[in-house]
Structure formats: C-alpha cells, structure tokens
Amino acid sequence: MSFFKKLPWTSLLLLVFTYLVFGWLISVEANSLWQREVNNHNSAEAHKSILTSLWVEGVNPTLWDVPWWFVLKGIVCILLISLALTAPFGLIKTCYSSWLQSDFRAFLSVIVGSFLLVIILGSLDVFVRILVLIAASTLARLDLQTASYGEWPAFWLLSIVSFLGYSLGIITQQFLVTSI
C-alpha cells in the first residue's frame, strides 16, 4: 500500500492526459489518412477494398482499422522517452565524454546538431508535440525520483502510465467518431 501512497499522482495524471491527447492526435491523423485514401479511390475500379466500400457506404473506421505504423510510432516514442529519462547518467556521461575526445568527433557533432536543428525548425509542429511529451515525462520522472523510486521502477511506471494514456486517447477518439 505504501507503493501507491508515495506515487506522485498529480504529475502522473498530467502524463496520462498528455499522452491521451497524443493518442487522440495520432488517431485523427490515421482517420484523415483513411479519408484521403477513400477520396482518391476510383469507384469504377473492380478491385475495391472492403474497407473502402464500407467507408463509402457510411461506416466509419474502427479501432482495428487504425494503421499499425501509427500505433507503432507512438509506442516507440513512449519507450524512447521513458528510456532516455531513466537511463543512468553515468552511462550517458561516459558515452559523451569518450565521443567528444577528438576534434573530428566534436566537429562532426556540431554538423549533425546543426542539421537536426534545421530539421526541427522545418517541422516545428511535430517537434512541439514531442517537446510537450518530454516535458510531461520529465516532470513525472523528477517526482518519481523525489519519491525515491529507482531507475527500473521509474521506467516501468513511466512506460505503463504513458501507454495507458496513449491507448485511452486512441480508443476515446475512435469511439467518439463512430458514435457521432
């Protein structure tokens, strides 16, 4: 029972709601992709897919019709953020200090960093979404660290709470779209 008492409920609820919105946006993106495919589909073609014919008849896509790469994108994002926030800082420090010992590697890091900055500025809307996810996860991680959770329990808590919010977002959007 003390495990649940010392959980930082406020930051974990914020994390759930942040990933709920993220799952909602991913599901909306999948639905808009489906609608674009249906609008571009020629109804005179003989090899219409079953899903496209259902959409034309007024049936909305269900939860199982969401493309797997949209779901996979969210899962990979959740795992990478959780892992990056709970990785031991000694390991990260060792990797960076050994990487930046030569001038060539430092120069290469500056070039790659500036290239990434251009990509970030070019797709700012995607970067802002990721930054909000990182901020909410960081807050939860700091609260878990203050509550004296270790690295692996913090990783599992962050991952499970994030998966819960992400799944709730996808399911909620799917049920609201089909019920309207």
pLDDT tops 80 at residue 93? no
* Residue 126 included in any domain: no
* Residue 19 included in any domain: yes
pLDDT tops 70 at residue 86? yes
* Residue 104 included in any domain: no
* Residue 171 included in any domain: yes
Select the more confidently predicted residue: 163 or 66: 163
pLDDT number for residue 176: 81
The domain tally of the chain equals 1
pLDDT number for residue 47: 46
3-state secondary structure the chain: CHHHHCCCHHHHHHHHHHHHHHHHHHHHHHHHHHHHHHHHCCCCCCCCCHHHHHHHCCCCCCHHHCCHHHHHHHHHHHHHHHHHHHCCHHHHHHHHHHHCCCHHHHHHHHHHHHHHHHHHHHCHHHHHHHHHHHHHHHHHHHHHHHCCCCHHHHHHHHHHHHHHHHHHHHHHHHHHHHHC
pLDDT tops 50 at residue 46? no
* Residue 165 included in any domain: yes
* Residue 152 included in any domain: yes
Mean pLDDT of the chain: 80
pLDDT digits (tens, 9 = 90+) for 102-156: 788 888 888 998 998 898 888 888 889 999 999 999 999 999 999 988 888 999 9
Least confident of 45-54, 60-69, 90-99, 165-174: 45-54
pLDDT tops 80 at residue 16? yes
pLDDT number for residue 72: 83
pLDDT number for residue 173: 86
| Residues spanned by the domain of 22 | 8-40+48-90+133-179
* Residue 149 included in any domain: yes
* Residue 71 included in any domain: yes
